[in-house]
Chains A and B, each alone.
Chain A
């Protein structure tokens, strides 16, 4: 099937979504995604940041689609023409969604552990406006501990449902979910029960914002002061392929290996989810075999000052 996204044509298999087709092309044409997670079937369609314009439905039926569609859940048709970066409507729609996502967000980035690797921060930087028009009181919740290792800041949550799917698909029993409705909807456990499962820590990795954070890492350091190192170990429960976030010889935290879209990488045809033991318990360097430094996108704040980039800094021209 041929699909054209922002004037770039690519051949994809039938049933591929627009977003995945765009990721095959890569670069600027990829719509941002806050709730879709390719490794978790059933996610997507909720945050509406990946809205794109379909200028022609297919070769057989070249009519444009009247509404913007969620690229993460719309399969491509042969001859479909999609506009992402090149569409003014998409730009407007996306900035509207970002505005909506931010009106109740506390914007407490200076004290949030997610800062520096937060999808919402990146999204706001790219599509947000400088000033808010929201004059009302923001919706607030108290932060709660769900289990002894995970902290939940509901204020920061954008209700992407990713952590719900992690609990559904990786653990045996889900004990947390979405309570209430509309603006009052919140992620919570049933009567503040602890989330205690070998793979529950992956909820932290999939969270696009700072709503779920690692209690063993809380307020220890900003992520951009740490050095991410790829490491592995023999683990019976999981693949044991992780990223160690180190300061000197000390391991501050352990996470899964995330790709450029913030998703856990697929290693040997399996999504490399890591178990709670690897994530929370093994903070001793002797337990790991360090492979080498993790390659970080040079645009990321995490890579600032740590790695030499292949591109020489542009020289400012003075006229």
Chain B
């Protein structure tokens, strides 16, 4: 079956980052269609019909999020694009914005029209400064051709689009922290409620969407929500960008139809082409660093023996005991030589560094876990440290203001659940733990 592409279909065309080439290849049709023949509510209805779910990680239905937007009289509304992609292992938005910036801008115009926003923002992380320049160039072109600014396409709809760089903090990818940062304040997540749909940017109703979600609005409006919903499986509709990395023959960004089997994705010729250097698969993190890790025997099959598919439901099959999450689509593969303890420490170090420090469980807990894991990895651990880690992450989970605490806790909990032997090996073989990886000492794993 030929894999259908909706977002990256034209990405190979030379010069697609310029307005003229993009327009020649069917670009900005969705803006024309929406503004000429649809009311804003019809656009929202179409997105609802498509079953599009937020591509930033949580998977909340986009159409439903849009319909929650409060619409009081005389108060401006905002659409904010969350381009603060900084989860380890996730690099799909960067690819999309770098290669085909007009797709995002087109999606933002159509979405802003649907929400009745006259000012919209793209909040991009500070390290993506070169992409900011690409986007600004594309926005200038769109202004020039009359797709942005006053009276777009002569339909009396005004829209201004701004790109705002952040300071490079992971926490600013949390929507309320993003809004704080956008207002020029310290990027601390807000206490919810009120939710951004009621009180967001500058106290006005705001919708925050991921880059990929907004880009997906373009094919939804072009071809209709029903035909988008026809792709995929169950409640996971449409296509998804997956950024595959780790020990793969061909890592990179792939656009897949939801419902592709994980086995096909890892070993298929059209996709990652298997594990590099003829090694065996050891573990997989299917949705960016914050989702639970899966050991090799749970990657391609669920615990009930069914094939695991690339979809929100199938990857979550088995809950946190034997499943994981699709998350943001940061697909990380570990081969037999990789050390899970070291990897867990690395992830935790990231979260400890990126915790905003506002609420106690996350501020103190992530730092504590990082120190304990660092000790374990370097051969200074104690067998009770493993239980201590499990205890700490149970105490962080669910007690924090924003999901960063959960995101820090889940990978540690899962790593201990599935790879406890490896943690214990680090305690019992202290000298070896410093000099070599656990993976090398084990019998070859069955793939």
Contacts and interface: CB of A to CB of B under 8 A. Distances in A.
User: Does B associate with A?
Assistant: yes
Interface string B381-409: 00000001000000100111100000000
B111 to A, nearest CB: 30
A136 B169 contact: no
B368 A134 contact: yes
Contacts of A48: 359-361, 399-401
B388 A97 contact: no
B191 interface: yes
B400 A182 contact: no
A70 B399 CA distance: 9
A277 to B, nearest CB: 32
Contact of A182 (B193, B355, B371, B372): B355
Contacts of B354: 181-182
A247 interface: no
State the majority secondary structure of interface residues on B: helix
Interface string A133-177: 110100100000000000000000011010000000000000001
A185 B353 CA distance: 11
A58 to B, nearest CB: 14
A183 B395 contact: no
Contact of B395 (A46, A99, A181): A99
Interface in B58-92: none
Interface string B343-368: 00000000011111111110111111
A317 B375 CA distance: 52
Contacts of A97: 360-361, 399
Contacts of B372: 136
A159 B366 CA distance: 16
Given A136-B368, A136-B372, A185 B399 contact: no
Contacts of B395: 92-93, 96, 99-100
B360 A158 contact: yes
Nearest to A75: B193
B186 interface: yes
Contacts of A185: 356-357, 363
B191 A70 contact: yes
Most buried by B among A46, A161, A177, A182: A182
Contacts, number: 95
Contacts of B368: 100, 103, 134, 136
Nearest to B367: A183
B399 A96 contact: yes
Interface string A94-132: 001101110110000000000000000000000000000
B359 A180 contact: no
Nearest to B189: A45
A111 B177 CA distance: 38
A159 B361 contact: no
Nearest to B385: A135
Nearest to B372: A136
B399 A93 contact: yes
Interface in A56-93: 66-68, 70, 73-75, 92-93
Contact of B357 (A47, A136, A178): A178
Contact of A68 (B191, B371, B399): B399
Given A104-B364, A134-B368, A136-B372, A44 B191 contact: yes
B161 to A, nearest CB: 30
Nearest to B371: A136
A316 interface: no
Contacts of B363: 100, 159, 182-183, 185
Contacts of A226: none
A51 interface: yes
A184 interface: yes
Contact of B364 (A73, A93, A101): A101
Contacts of B169: 181
A95 to B, nearest CB: 9
A182 B352 CA distance: 7
Contact of B401 (A45, A92, A182): A45
A75 B193 CA distance: 9
A47 B186 contact: no
Interface string A20-62: 0000000000000000000000001111110100000000000
B42 to A, nearest CB: 31
Most buried by B among A66, A93, A136, A158: A136
Nearest to A134: B368
A46 B186 contact: no
A100 B366 CA distance: 10
Nearest to A103: B364
A182 B370 CA distance: 12
A51 B191 CA distance: 13
Interface of B: 169, 171, 186, 191, 193, 352-361, 363-368, 371-372, 375, 388, 395, 398-401
Given A46-B401, A104-B367, A182-B352, 10 more contacts: A44-B191, A48-B399, A93-B399, A97-B361, A100-B368, A103-B364, A104-B364, A136-B368, A183-B366, A185-B356
18 contacts: A47-B360, A68-B399, A70-B191, A70-B401, A74-B193, A92-B395, A93-B399, A96-B361, A100-B361, A103-B368, A133-B388, A159-B357, A178-B186, A182-B357, A183-B364, A183-B367, A184-B357, A185-B356
In the A-B complex, the 10 residue pairs with the smallest Cβ-Cβ separation, listed nearest first, are A185-B357, A96-B395, A183-B367, A45-B191, A182-B355, A100-B364, A136-B371, A67-B398, A182-B357, A73-B191
